Amino acid sequence: MSAPTAKQGAGEEEAERLLAAAKLNPNDGGPFRALGHHYARAGDAQRAARCYQRAVALDPDDAEAGEALCDLLDVDGKESLELAVCKESAGKSPRAFWAFRRLGYLQVHQNKWSEAIQSLQHSIRGYPTCADLWEALGLAYHRLGMFTASVKSYGRAIELDSSRVFALIESGNIQLMLGYFRKGVEQFRLALELAPRNHSAYFGLASALLAWSRHCVATGAFTWAANLLKEASEAAKACSSLTGNLSCVWKLHADTQLALARCFPWEHGDIKWGMDEHTFKASVLEWRNTCLSAANGAKLSYQRALHLTPWEANIHIDTAVCLDLICTMEENNSVDPIIWELPEKISLGGLMLEPVNKDFWVTLGSVSSNQALKQHSLIRALHLDMSLSEAWAYLGKIYRQSGHKQLARQAFDRARSIDPSLALPWAGMSAEDHNQYGAGAVNESYESCLRAVQILPLPEFQIGLGTIAARSGELLSPQVLMAVRQAVQRAPHYPESHNINGLVAEVRSDFQSAITSYQQAKFALDMMCRSKLDNRYPFVDVSLNLARSLCKAGLATDAARECEELKTKGLLNVDGLQIYAFALWKLGRHDEALSVSRNLAENLPSMKQESATGALGFICTLAYNITGKDSAALVIHTLPGQPSYNRELKFIISALDALQPNKRFQLPQLSTPPRLTSYEVMSEVHSNIALGKAIGGESNSCLGVEGGLSYLKKVLHMYPDCSLVRNHLGSLLLSGGDWTASHKAVRVTSLSHGHTSNRGLRSPHQIQACATVSCYATCTSYPKFSFPTCEDQYLSQYNALCNLQRLVHQEPWNQDARYLLVLAIFQKAREEKYPKHISTILKRLILQVLSSRSNSEEHKIVLYEKYLLLLLSSEISLQSDDHANCIAQATDALRVTSPSADAFFAHLQLCRAYVVRGDLSNSRKEYMKCLQNGTNTEIGWVMLKQLESLCSLNPGSDEIEINLKECIERKGSNPSKWASLFNLACAQSSMRVEDFASAEKALAQACAEKDADSCILFLNGALNMEIAWRYAAPQFINRAASSLRKAQQKSQATVPIVSLLLAQAEGSLGSKTKWEKNLRLEWFTWPPELRPAELYFQMHLLASQSTASGAPQQKQHQLLPETMQSPGAWLLRAIHQNPSCSRYWKALEQVVYV
């Protein structure tokens, strides 16, 4: 008992002390606040309030007193007083943040949003980390419709305190309103984690998912949408279990179910090839049942909602729409017009509640099955609002169904102009256009339908789009593909969707899928045929499609069976006959195929022009394939002549023409003026004629290139920019024996960019690559490794290698491109003397090409390429001194050779390898094999000749020469060129054994040939000089000089050392001016960075000569190279370059001492 009294006493003491303190300093708020606390504790609210009031009045920033005062007022319910206190304090001091905070909360409470925002913003400056303030601010913004600011404020609140369920839900709602479903869903999910029994979070989640799924449906991601909807439906269900008496929750659940029923896709992903009828039907039925059960679930939920709030008219309407969907799915249309249908009744219920709602009238019009009622209700809707586009659109649909074309078109037009983002009028217009003829109408129809599908992906629209696309040739368009695929997902019970899906797959040459689709179309037809009787025509179409796809996929047996089935039913039409004949031919039943084609031929006159020529072409080709060219020609002659052949037929005729050199058709059609026929066709036809000339020229195996060439030149003159003709010309040039063909071919063909045209005998890239490797001379553009010896240096102007690399980059799958690249790089490696890094790259590339070719079919060309690649690989090994690998690869190459390929070169390679290894007996063996095998390539013989002496064989026999001559005769190539090369080989062999006399003889012969090569002349000159020097025979110097002079003229002074040698020769002959002139020429043949020491030395000599002679022409000296430096400087440079040469030092000694 004593303790409380003591406490009370102490309290009173404290109060007295505080009172005293307050009296002492009545302007200090502190004691009043403390006093206020004291009274508050004691339960004397009135006194406490007065004290607090005093404290706050003295110091408006006193948050403690202010809060306490407001709390007291709040408890008493004196809201206006509280507000006044806060306002007063806030007015007194801007730092009274507590007052602003209170004020803000109070204003939020009183729904004074804009004022609240100001107060809250101010108070946030004082309490920046108070989550409540941010939340309140967010709410205020939200209510004012400032959504972005609101989301930011809520976000800050959540950031400060992650357990803010209210902020999460509200910001989720705003995100949803702004259309950011994904973020909304995220927020609601977070809220649900914090408060798992919060029904508004569930509601928000469900509606967010529903909105998201609608977005997905609009883009066509149905599986995705269905997954979202399932989740949404679960959320709505959870919400309804929490609060079962809210009508809007049930409506939401119903909405999700209805959306699911509408978008649930048919899963056909795991369809196996040859899926049987039963599985297909079962899966379609299962799909339908899923949809139906979802729709029924929607119906039940709508019913509950209706039960809870029967006065809500729009739930009536929703129920009516749902019932309508169920009716169409169950397909139990009652035919009695007098009985009101359920959907009609329910929507009338809605209309009873709100008779002036125009949308309700439209709904009634769309769910009703009674034409008169439909029309009436739509017109009622239009009475209410003339610009109601939906009503116009439905009206158009009704008119179209009842055959009023003009009215329908007007209605659709009006609907479309009122609201262009409505799908139905576009679809309606498309259907109207589709029925008209002409390309313009079809295009218009396609565009309209595409628009409709893009606005609203309904399966009916999508099937329509597919049908129009099939007619207008737009089946490859991805929009059509997408639409048709979606149509299959959404309407698997329509045979049309499967059929068009098949067409789309077929046009993409995916025949297996096409076959599957057509089969499904047949199954679907079968399912439908119970309700409809006449399905013969669609059945024929689908079967024909199926047969055609089977043919294309190579399943001729099945195709023939399909056709026979149709035949037994008597439904085989002209197209069917063609497919049947083709399938029979593929099966090897030639006689039957021919009889079918005869059958087809009888039908020709009754056919349309276009299809008739097509069929004629087919018959020709078939006849050619079965019985050869003669009967095909007969077909053309006997069948009724068409006034104008179409392009395919012209092509066939010209091809036949080319194959029969003896019996030419002399078709007048081919010589019609070019302007009458299309450009492309004529170039093809002309190419064929040129080939025909080439083939027909001679009877032996070699092509008569000349005839074809001259014809093609004329054609090119007519069609200068036709790449096909150019390619043909290039490839013919290359196959001819022309020495400079490689250069001409490159100039004649043009590389196209982007789209390479692979038509013609060879692609332009191929021609270029062939030209690169086929020029016998080195055409290197970089003189570090070797000097270009090619007399016409066309190739150096452009970089074939880079072009090939570009080609490989563009078409990485193209193994031919890779092969060509290997050849070009090999050429480069050869020119650069097989540097190590290029050899490594080459080996890798060859390995790649070989490995990718290993699993391809054993085609003749492929085998040849493989053979060549192995030889290249062997050569690289040889050059990098890897003899074992070299021999192994050459032996491999021998193994791949087919009878037609040339085994000669593999033996030659082996022979070379053995020679390098020093294995004499083996190399002789290979040499003999080479002789036995023989070759049709001139260079082979020349190379063999080179090897002859290396194998230590008697060079006496002239077997090789005879063979070479035969070879030249056979191919009609340039004999003088080859003779000089052969002599060169002979000379090389002689020189190797230091038999200079015979070498000289051979070289002299080589030079004597017409148009001898500069290199040979050069070699001859050098040899003569050597002989003159060795045997001190001055008469050879004359010969040397003349050869060298010719060489200099031929090479146009680009080959180095020629002029130097010539200078020496001329010097020895005593002509000093010629010596000077040639030395100067020599100076310019070298690229600056490569000039050797000897050249500097020679310049030194030249310079000292001219200074010794007193430099008569001062003016011209500026132009002469030797005057660029003093003689001494030349000498020093020479010594600097090559300090090991004693001659230079001696000369230096002379200069120094003299």
Contact residues: another protein, CB under 8 A: 182, 216, 219-224, 227, 269, 271-273, 454, 476-479, 481-482, 485, 508-513, 516, 553-554, 753-755, 802, 805-806, 808-809, 812-813, 815, 837, 841, 844-845, 847-848, 850-853, 855-857
Nearer to another protein (CB atom), residue 796 or residue 1107? 796
Longest dimension (CA), the chain: 154
Residue 942 Cβ vs another protein, minimum distance, rounded to whole Å = 33
Residue 272 Cβ vs another protein, minimum distance, rounded to whole Å = 7
Q: Which residue has the tokens 């590339």?
A: 845
Rounded Cα distance between 64 and 1006, Å, is: 119
Question: What stretches of 100-238 adopt beta strand conformation (E)?
Answer: none
Torsion sign across C-alpha atoms 1021, 1022, 1026, 1027: negative
Residue from 21, 16, 93, 101 nearest 60 by CA: 93
Residue 479 Cβ vs another protein, minimum distance, rounded to whole Å = 5
Going from the C-alpha of 457 to that of each of 218, 487, 869, the distances in angstroms are: 7, 8, 55
Nearer to another protein (CB atom), residue 756 or residue 879? 756
Structure tokens at 995: 């038999």
Residue 1139 Cβ vs another protein, minimum distance, rounded to whole Å = 33
Nearer to another protein (CB atom), residue 380 or residue 853? 853
Query: What residues contact 347, with CB distance under 8 A and at least 6 apart?
Result: 316, 317, 320, 360, 363, 364, 367
Residue 850 Cβ vs another protein, minimum distance, rounded to whole Å = 8
Residue 275 Cβ vs another protein, minimum distance, rounded to whole Å = 11
Residue 583 Cβ vs another protein, minimum distance, rounded to whole Å = 16
Nearer to another protein (CB atom), residue 511 or residue 904? 511
| H-type alpha helices, 628-646 | 629-638
Residue 840 Cβ vs another protein, minimum distance, rounded to whole Å = 8
- Amino acid letter for position 385: D
Would you state the torsion angle of the CA atoms of residues 740, 741, 743, 744, taken in this order, to the nearest 10 degrees? 120
Rounded Cα distance between 407 and 395, Å, is: 9
Q: Determine contact, residues 739/974, Cβ cutoff 8 Å.
A: yes
Nearer to another protein (CB atom), residue 336 or residue 857? 857
Rounded Cα distance between 540 and 1116, Å, is: 96
Would you state the torsion angle of the CA atoms of residues 626, 630, 631, 636, taken in this order, to the nearest 10 degrees? 120
Nearer to another protein (CB atom), residue 793 or residue 805? 805
Residue 973 Cβ vs another protein, minimum distance, rounded to whole Å = 35
Rounded Cα distance between 993 and 380, Å, is: 115
Residue 491 Cβ vs another protein, minimum distance, rounded to whole Å = 16
Nearer to another protein (CB atom), residue 386 or residue 476? 476
Nearer to another protein (CB atom), residue 850 or residue 953? 850
Nearer to another protein (CB atom), residue 151 or residue 484? 484
DSSP 867-902: HHHHHHHHHHHHHTT-HHHHHHHHHHHHHH--TTS-
Nearer to another protein (CB atom), residue 20 or residue 841? 841
Residue 812 Cβ vs another protein, minimum distance, rounded to whole Å = 6
Rounded Cα distance between 408 and 413, Å, is: 8
Nearer to another protein (CB atom), residue 359 or residue 892? 892
Q: Determine contact, residues 787/1058, Cβ cutoff 8 Å.
A: no
Tell me the Cα Rg of the chain: 49
Nearer to another protein (CB atom), residue 245 or residue 851? 851
DSSP state letter for 642: P
Residue from 130, 94, 100, 93 nearest 116 by CA: 100
Residue 173 Cβ vs another protein, minimum distance, rounded to whole Å = 21
Nearer to another protein (CB atom), residue 224 or residue 651? 224
Residue 1027 Cβ vs another protein, minimum distance, rounded to whole Å = 47
Nearer to another protein (CB atom), residue 481 or residue 1061? 481
Rounded Cα distance between 692 and 680, Å, is: 19
Rounded Cα distance between 548 and 580, Å, is: 9
Torsion sign across C-alpha atoms 321, 327, 329, 334: negative
Number of Cβ within 10 Å of residue 273's Cβ equals 9
Rounded Cα distance between 284 and 960, Å, is: 79
Q: Which residue has the tokens 């500097």?
A: 1096
Residue 524 Cβ vs another protein, minimum distance, rounded to whole Å = 20
CB half-sphere exposure, 7, CA atoms < 13 A = 7
- Compute the residue count for the chain: 1154
Rounded Cα distance between 792 and 1075, Å, is: 28
Q: Determine contact, residues 377/362, Cβ cutoff 8 Å.
A: yes
Nearer to another protein (CB atom), residue 50 or residue 806? 806
Nearer to another protein (CB atom), residue 450 or residue 986? 450
Q: Determine contact, residues 930/901, Cβ cutoff 8 Å.
A: no
> What backbone phi and psi angles, to 5 degrees, belong to 402?
-90, 5
User: 1052: alpha, beta or left, given left = phi > 0 and alpha = psi -120 to 50?
Assistant: left
Nearer to another protein (CB atom), residue 813 or residue 1153? 813
CA 943 distance to own-chain centroid: 48
Rounded Cα distance between 711 and 715, Å, is: 6
Nearer to another protein (CB atom), residue 415 or residue 845? 845
Residue from 263, 639, 626 nearest 457 by CA: 263
Residue 200 Cβ vs another protein, minimum distance, rounded to whole Å = 27
Residue 723 Cβ vs another protein, minimum distance, rounded to whole Å = 16
